[in-house]
Chains A and B, each alone.
Chain A
Amino acid sequence: MTERQTGGGTTEAQAAPVVLEMRGITKTFGPVKANDEVSITLHRGEILGLLGENGAGKSTLMKILYGLYKPDAGSIFIDGEEVEIHDPKDAVERGIGMVHQHFTLIPPLTVAENIVLGAEPRKGVTLDAEGAIKATEELSERYGLKVDPRSRVSHLSVGVEQRVEILKALYREARILILDEPTAVLTPQETTDLFTVLNEFVADGLSIILITHKLGELLGVSDEITIIRDGRVVDTVKTSETNERQLARLMVGRDVSLRAEKEAPKIGEPRLVAEGLVVHSHTGTVAVDGVDLEVRAGEILGVAGVDGNGQTELAEALAGMQHVETGHVHLDGEDVTSLGADDRQERGLAYIPEDRRTKGLVQDFHLYENNALKTYDEPPFSKWGWIFPNVMRRRAAENLRAYDVRPPDPDARAGSLSGGNQQKAVIARELSGDPGAIIASQPTRGVDVGAIEFIYGQLLEQRASGKAILLISLELEEVRSLSDRIVVLYAGRIVGEVSPDATDEELGLLMAGRGAEEKSA
């Protein structure tokens, strides 16, 4: 056990004791060095931000800490003592808790059952159900994370599911909490709530590692930020001494601009039109309740709103994936209401779905197959029922390069790519077919700054070339900076239209379902 020989990015002036140090961690996957001599230091009662683009190696580092991967080199110290972590059980025993980006809850079980799972309080040989509920309630109270211990996880919203995940870690007495992209699935309000709770945690003596690629969030909540790029630590900075521009440069390695530079729109004929659209959700309730929309050539129409107000159903009904109860969809003047998704796609409708994991891509398909996911049945990919993988491969190779998908290897599996690159692969497929109208549903959800910049650029290019773009997004900033007009969706209805320079207050009122009356007055 070596006493500390100031390694990596240790800063001496910190008064709080070091709870965790990872030193010289190296991990390679085949030819790829996912982590190259990475060192991080976490102090007690501190929130350390781990910042980097998707694929930079943040998740790999944390999976090593959590015992999911074995490092090729390097050592881990907890409370100054060198430890070896072989599996998540080891990690949990040493007080490390992890909240994964994709939750690991069991939907049919209740909140309490999920929380105690694997460490259940017992009554004889059976689960002590009351004990589990009590433990959950205590934890919930103590940390201000509101959950109903008795409700089933399948009935919860994503934000609440995340709370359950955090409680699960706390139940196992985590002292070091790792949160992997926790805000990717949250609404702005839920994000604020989460950060409030995190601040209480650290005041209570917990230490937190927050993995993210969202700069703004880190500035608000973290104490220190370690920036990782291409598997290496670029720098560790004090949050109080940095700013968004500097972080973006460190993370991407060059200056980036997230302010979309728009030219004045050249607006033409309506290309994508919805009239009195009524759509039911999968459970049979009315999700879209009489929406009228008109997206014209050369403009981006933004749809703002809080999640769950009919966005998904609206997008899917326009794309032809969901049944329209009443109303019509017109594409370039043609009534396409009765046509399926493939027919609408052939008529020039592109759809970037909000969920690339379960809709946009077949994760286990090669990229060339995913690139042809909608056009596999058309020449030159297909003739007389046969498909031609080599033609698909060549076309995919061109496409992947043109849209900067990394790696640009048509034979790579979609699931092996980072989120940002998966999204670029979806966009490459959707935009390369020269569509007339584009539905972009949360096109930058869970992708990194570099990819966001690229995606914005692509959408604006499409706008300049006379495409009609419907942008559905939960990120208010995104809707504002890209759109030419904004409509607000609330409870399945459009409750108002505003210009992109409308105040936050004005938009906020509409999004909360108030203001429809004032607007019409």
Chain B
Amino acid sequence: MKVAIVGATRGMGRALARRLAERGDALFLLGRDEAELARSARDLEARGAPLPVGQARLDLGEPAGFAAALDAADRSLSRTDALVVTGGLFARQDELAADPGRLSALLQANFTGTVLLCQQAAERLAARGGGLICAFGSVAGDRARRGNYLYGASKAGLAVFLDGLDLAYRDRGVRTLCVKPGFVRTAMTAGLPVPPFAGEPDAVARRVLAAMDAGRHDVYAPGVWRFVMLLIRALPRAVLRRVQF
């Protein structure tokens, strides 16, 4: 595969890019911090990605730059066949509730920016016969929680979009995979209380890779979250209220 990836410098994206590199997939890195992109590009080259691993600046908050970034990936990879978006923003509910600017930036990156980027990429891929779009939602988007619904809403919206993208484009050869991680121990979640079933980035990466190869349209990681969320979605609202969910 020839993969353009947003978010490969950190956390789950870093782990996933490494797994792709180790099996020899060609990579192109997109992100905000060029020095960090370069560091990760060298890391991925040393781990087996075909040389060179290119990079270009992309900010999910600046859709005007998307076309140029996708062009750069296409040039470097001589036609990309997959776009992976692991990047996104996160903040605690109280921080988001208190700061509309911050909330707006999060919604912009996690929802608006990611939707615009994936839609554009899907169209490009469809025009040349197909490919793969993979983006990271969250179990937080499966059902609202009082303590996390602002972040959750950005991921819920994204999940609906990705679901639709898969329905609309699969006939044209473009598969879409929506990854729904539960709590994963990364720098993003540092300092938060660690709930049960917490996952590790590399285990998530391996699961995502298997789901990509199998052509799935969604994957929970760790896998137990599919059943946990099935249960939580089925709980009556009255129960959620009572348990202060």
Partners in one complex: no
Interface residues of B (CB under 8 A from A): none
- Chain A residues engaging chain B, CB cutoff 8 angstroms: none
